[in-house]
Amino acid sequence: MSHSLPGIVRDRVTVPTIVISNRQKLVLLSASGVGAGYFPLFPGTIGTLVAIPLSLALNNLANFSLAFAVLTLFAAVYCAIGLASKASELLGQKDPGLIVVDEIAGFLVANFTAPNRISVLLTAFMLFRFFDIAKIFPASWLEKLPGGLGIVLDDIIAGVYTLVIVQLLVAWKIL
């Protein structure tokens, strides 16, 4: 079933009416972190906040079965790439800000198997946001890849950088 969205007037120009299917709506809803990406200020940060309960659930799963948690993490990254590809194609943009599934997947990596302590969670959150914004190599190179690969993989690298630092800080008993 398709729905027609009415034309919108912006700066005295009417944006044409578009037709969007329920499946396309589901893709945009999922890629936007259940709407978090539509937040007008700092959608990437809001998307990372959405990732926190998912990350905690994944870590609880890792306590039960590390192998299943790793498999789930890889599946989440794979799905994020697919969703980001489809959403960016629907929107006709390389990396639209409303797509935050990349931040969600990246933070799942960043906080993976971290101890369930607020100091660890806050550190992981801040470090992930820093690395996501800074785009330290190879993230800056990976974001140039086409479609969902470029959208998601730079965040996965930010997550890996964060994961390594957080795990070291925990091992050294700083966190």
List, for residues 9-66, the tens digit of each pLDDT value. Answer: 455 555 555 678 889 889 888 999 998 888 889 999 999 999 999 999 999 999 999 9
Tell me the whole-structure pTM to 2 decimals: 0.87
Q: What is the spatial distance between Cα 170 and Cα 70, in angstroms, rounded to a whole number?
A: 20
Beta strands 18-21 and 2-5, pairing class: antiparallel
Buried/exposed 43-69: b ≥16 CB within 10 Å, e otherwise: bbbbbbbbbeebbeebbebbeeeeeeb
38-48 tens-digit pLDDT: 888 999 999 99
d(CA 94, CA 82): 14
Structure tokens of 126?
A: 């801040």
What are the C-alpha distances in Å from 47 to residues 30, 37, 60? 11, 6, 21
